Amino acid sequence: MSHDQSFPPPAAWARDALVDRRRYEDLVALEARDPDAFWREVAGRLDWETPFTKVKDVSFDLTDFRIRWFEDGRLNASVNCIDRHLAARGDQTAIIWEGDDPAASRRITYRELHRQVCRMANVLKRRGVRRGDRVTIYLPMIPEAAYAMLACARIGAIHSVVFAGFSPDSLAGRINDCDSRLVITADEGVRGGKRVPLKANVDEALEHAPGVETVLVVTRTGVATSLKAGRDFVYEAEAAEVADDCPAEAMGAEDPLFILYTSGSTGRPKGVLHTTGGYLAWAAWTHEAVFDYRPGQVYWCTADVGWVTGHSYIVYGPLANGATTLMFEGVPNYPSLSRCWQVIDKHQVEIFYTAPTAIRALMREGEAPVARTSRRSLRLLGSVGEPINPEAWLWYHRVVGEHRCPIVDTWWQTETGGILISPLPGATTLKPGSATRPLPGVKLALVDADGRPLEGAGEGNLCLTDSWPGQMRTVWNDHERFLQTYFSTYPGKYFTGDGCRRDADGDYWITGRVDDVLNVSGHRLGTAEVESALVAHPKVAEAAVVGFPHEVKGQGIYCYVTLKAGEQPGPALEKALVDWVRREIGPIATPDVIQWAPGLPKTRSGKIMRRILRKIAEGDTANLGDTSTLADPGVVDDLVARKRLEP
Ligand code: WTA
């Protein structure tokens, strides 16, 4: 298959895009000549209660470290996402909610959004939430999830959204880490025709999270749930007792907006902290530039609000731009494989943003479910979360977009707050599988293992040599971990954890994580998290987890498990371990392969040689490399022999 095709912007795009070639070059030139002027323009799209005079104060030098943007400005994120749109488009739809059941959908205008967010803000205040307090949100994809985020922003509380697919245990860990005293959840979630017992999960989590004083339970299905007196309250009853107007707190640009937990290569998930001014400016600016967003267009990002993509590109970016953003409760294959395309036709979606894993899964089912639908409203397609293989890109382009829609392959991270590398559809020549170029103002470097910058074409580790407004500011409660994780590998640079190739044209091709972070169906997961779940099982002595290429998920989870003396391996225990990990972390962490390992390959100092385990998992056993430094090289032969026995 040829991977060297390229697609220049279609003529109409080159002519009409907000950022055409000329505008792109002007922005790049402005940034080079007067960076502060460029950043003032980016942040100037927000409404500032007190305008900022300082643009940027940044040093990545560990002895003098700081990241501050627009720091003397004051603003409120919910005002920027709601109030400022009321005069011009109070009656425009802000959120289209499409339920799991295709017969269920709703439109929420900006005026209605204002009322709902104010009510929830007042309920939070009545229950004792103050500026700076942390609120954990464990909700399915219902409008209340957006209301809850914006209600926190309105009163200066810091939200921590926990993906509703996470287990009670994972939820408890996240609640405890940031000392949330209030949790917002729903009675149940509904996905793919199945119910998810969210309130019951919260009850279980709270057995290990004693600091929680209040639980607000949004009614989604109306199923009877047990309410603990004095702690649990039905949200609608609370909301009926408060006013539907609530003044907004003026926040400093550098005041925290939210914490979002994400997986790293070691230890427990870390609380990525984003602040108000820089984050919102970058989310809004990138949403407009990358998606060529114009008022009135219907935009759909299929992510869940539990991930950063949902934060920046379902809620904050689109609403800051006065957009109509679609929020989908369901899954792409329910009730049929045509669901996404039916939703696009039903709501006349113009911009569609999804993950490669969804495209690969649908691609496998053939073209018929797509061809049954019109999709005439579509103008632009987007991809996010993991590398998109050229085959999937070309299918997306040809079958879904019928050659007419450019594809923006957007590279970014929870830590970056918004998109950093992406085509601009009116200005960039697309190459299937390449995220192409950094956005204006984004300073990339590829470095070799010793930190030496690579010039020209080549492959290395992807770093950023300077800040951008959406950059995370710290790890909640652990600034040292923040500095260690991101700024100590290559002094003076932010290290992304990704490998990357730059071609002769200067286009970037992300090759995937170079650390022990897995990307399973576009979801980030630390190998260490899966390992610690496995060793928590009473029969497991030791475990090592690596990723391996998976046709649909991108990466699958491969677990080497050493049992305690006297324990017998077998299919029943294998199933028990798979279920155990699902229960400990959540279904996204479901192991794909369990391989029994009487021993693990370790160096003489006891370090597990993951490089070798990865090779075996990939089936590349002919190239295991040097195994002479192992404490017991025989272990490897044994693992290889067992691997061959598997189908
Ligand atoms: C990967 C998701 C290739 C990458 C927004 C990154 C990508 C990690 C792309 C962050 C892309 C994200 N091409 N790889 N377009 N987008 N990634 O924090 O490895 O959930 O480091 O943020 O996803 O995942 P996270």
Residue 435's CATH number = 3.40.50.12780
Distance 412 CA to ligand 1 centre (A): 5
- Which residues, judged by CB distance below 6 Å to any ligand atom, belong to the binding site of ligand 1? 262, 307-309, 383-387, 409-414, 435, 496-498, 510, 512-513, 519, 524
Q: What whole-number percentage of the chain has pLDDT above 90?
A: 93
The answer as to whether 171 is a domain residue is yes
What residues contact residue 310 under an 8 Å CB cut-off, 6+ apart?
Answer: 161, 301, 303, 304
Query: Is the domain of 225 the same as that of 271?
Result: no
Cis peptide bond N-terminal to 335, omega within 30: yes
Boundary residue ending a domain (201, 222, 249): 249
Boundary residue ending a domain (447, 474, 504): 504
For the annotated binding site, the residues are 191-194, 309, 333, 385-387, 409-414, 498, 513, 521, 524, 535, 537, 540, 582
Termini Cα distance of the chain: 28
State pLDDT tens for residues 202-240: 999 999 999 999 999 999 999 999 999 999 999 999 999
Give pLDDT, residue 644.
65
Q: What whole-number percentage of the chain has pLDDT above 70?
A: 99
- Report how many domains make up the chain: 3
Six-digit token pair at 598?
A: 């009487």
For the annotated binding site for CoA, the residues are 191-194, 309, 333, 521, 582
Query: Is the domain of 455 the same as that of 317?
Result: yes
Distance 309 CA to ligand 1 centre (A): 10
The answer as to whether 647 is a domain residue is no
The question of ipTM being above 0.85 is answered as yes
Exposed, middle or buried, 130 (CB in 10 Å: 0-12/13-18/19+)? exposed
Query: Is the domain of 484 the same as that of 576?
Result: no
Burial 415-444 (b: 16+ CB within 10 A, else e): bbbbbbbbbbbbbbebbbbbbbbbbbbbeb
Query: Is the domain of 234 the same as that of 131?
Result: yes
State pLDDT tens for residues 410-455: 999 999 999 999 999 999 999 999 999 999 999 999 999 999 999 9
Nearest CA to ligand 1 atom 22: 413
Query: Is the domain of 406 the same as that of 550?
Result: no
Confirm if 444 and 421 have CB atoms less than 8 A apart: yes
Q: How confident is the model at residue 195 (pLDDT cuts 50, 70, 90)?
A: very high
Distance 86 CA to ligand 1 centre (A): 35
State pLDDT tens for residues 505-539: 999 999 999 999 999 999 999 999 999 999 999 99
Please give the number of the atom of ligand 1 that sits closest to the Cα of 414.
Answer: 18
State pLDDT tens for residues 135-171: 999 999 999 999 999 999 999 999 999 999 999 999 9
Query: Is the domain of 344 the same as that of 369?
Result: yes
Q: How confident is the model at residue 646 (pLDDT cuts 50, 70, 90)?
A: low
How many angstroms separate the Cα of 188 from the Cα of each of 89, 123, 587? 33, 21, 17
Give pLDDT, residue 633.
84
Q: Which residue has the tokens 């576009």?
A: 522
Query: Is the domain of 535 the same as that of 450?
Result: no
Domain region containing 128: 106-249
Query: Is the domain of 370 the same as that of 425?
Result: yes
- Indicate the SS3 state at residue 489: coil
